[in-house]
Amino acid sequence: MWFRIARVASVLYAQAMAVPQEVIDALSAAGRPVVIGHINPDIDAMGAMLGLSRALPGEAAVTFGNRPLGPRPAAMLRWADCRPADAQRVRQADLAVVVDTANVGRINVQGGWETLADLRVINIDHHVSNERFGRHNWVEPGTSSTCELICRLIIAAGWPLDPTTATLLYAGIHADTCGFSLPTSAEAFEAAVALVRAGAKPAAVGQSLWRSQRPQEFALLRTVYQNTRTTPDGGIAYSSLSLAEIEAAGCTPADVDDQVAIPRSLAGIRMAALLSEAEPGVVRINLRGEEGTPVLPLAAQLGGGGHPYSAGVRMRGPLTEVVERFLGHATEYLHSRPGEHGKGATP
């Protein structure tokens, strides 16, 4: 059953009416748009790509380049009953929509940015570091997720919102707010409510994305727990995973992401980090900050990006060396912000 939102909570409705009209017009006029996200898409990127492609009036396609998807993004692909577009379909597109992607180097399409050179590009994102590379750029860094933006877009355009689309978008909001546990706006909650009213299934999201560990992933969790440490002052909790440890668990680097929740669960910390070898000589760092300690400035200092309290970095070098370098930078960063509280501290 199709569901159209005629009116939702007042704040969300007002925000929907502020969606740039040129974005709505361009998307409405496109006959064969292609929707693209970032390399190694997370749940927000997947929800935005799949949700938007289902709602667009044209014959929309979604592409993921030629890299394998992790287990949770792959599960979302099955929800949407979506077959990714091949390179020929991308070349036939009359419009490209790039979502949740801060810069052209992260665009997940075979051939990279050059593939889109002859297309009008719409850039929809919530990263503060977005480089405004599209012909039309709708970037709102204060928004919880790109899925929240897509929710507002669908409402503003009057496109149909079915339960599957609503579930995909809800999953993205839930994931990018870490289950609404990061600083979360009333607008994000209102978008989630609107999506549930449209048929989104929060229980299914929780079961499929957070309570469906394969035995290999469970083994990886055990290693993350074993490797978790804190800095002497207790401000940073961190864990590390070598490529050998990832493979010994029966996993790949694509399976490493949300396990940063393990060091983050320690009381009293201000920052959590998970450092994992993405490939020999390249270490991926997942960062989380507690309220009052944003991690985006630290990530940017190290060449990464992301959101205020959830960010990422890639650093080169042996894992043990990168851990030492990172902790040096992170400790210095925390010492430069002495007045803030960690988890469990009195405000």
- The per-residue pLDDT for range 181-202, each reduced to its tens digit, is 776 788 889 999 999 999 999 9
State the pLDDT at residue 9: 46
Residue 293 binned pLDDT confidence (cut-offs 50, 70, 90)? very high
The average pLDDT across 49-76 equals: 88
How far apart, in whole angstroms, are the C-alpha atoms of residue 289 and residue 234?
14
- Looking up tokens 């210095």, which residue turns up? 332
* 83 CB-near residues (< 8 Å, 6+ apart): none
Q: What is the C-alpha radius of gyration for the chain, rounded to an integer number of angstroms?
A: 20
The average pLDDT across 22-51 equals: 94
- Give the chain's end-to-end CA distance (angstroms, integer): 47
Query: Are 138 and 10 contacting, i.e. CB atoms less than 8 angstroms apart?
Result: no
pLDDT digits (tens, 9 = 90+) for 80-89: 888 888 888 8
The pair phi, psi for residue 264, each rounded to 5°, is: -65, -20
The pair phi, psi for residue 172, each rounded to 5°, is: -65, -40
How far apart, in whole angstroms, are the C-alpha atoms of residue 220 and residue 216?
6
Go through the domains of the chain in sequence order and give each one's CATH number: 10-210 (3.90.1640.10), 215-335 (3.10.310.30)
Give the number of other CB atoms < 10 A from CB of residue 268: 14
Type of residue numbered 167: T
State the pLDDT at residue 15: 61
Residue 8 binned pLDDT confidence (cut-offs 50, 70, 90)? very low
Token pair for residue 188?
Answer: 């994000």
Question: Residue 207 above 90 pLDDT?
Answer: no
Residue 12 binned pLDDT confidence (cut-offs 50, 70, 90)? low
Token pair for residue 38?
Answer: 């970032």
Mean pLDDT across the chain, nearest whole number? 88
Question: Residue 286 above 60 pLDDT?
Answer: yes
Residue 346 binned pLDDT confidence (cut-offs 50, 70, 90)? very low
The average pLDDT across 21-45 equals: 94
Ranges 20-24, 47-51, 67-71, 107-111: which has the least confidence:
67-71
- The pTM for the full model equals 0.81
Residue 73: name the closest of 187, 182, 175, 196 by CA. 175
Alpha carbon 144 to its chain's center: 10
How far apart, in whole angstroms, are the C-alpha atoms of residue 306 and residue 328?
21
Q: What percent of the chain has pLDDT over 70?
A: 92
Ranges 20-24, 95-99, 106-110, 261-265: which has the least confidence:
106-110
- Looking up tokens 């070898």, which residue turns up? 277
Question: Residue 172 above 90 pLDDT?
Answer: yes
Distances (CA, A) of 100 to 48, 56, 71, 116, 307: 8, 17, 19, 17, 11
Most distant CA pair in the chain, distance: 59
Query: Are 158 and 5 contacting, i.e. CB atoms less than 8 angstroms apart?
Result: no
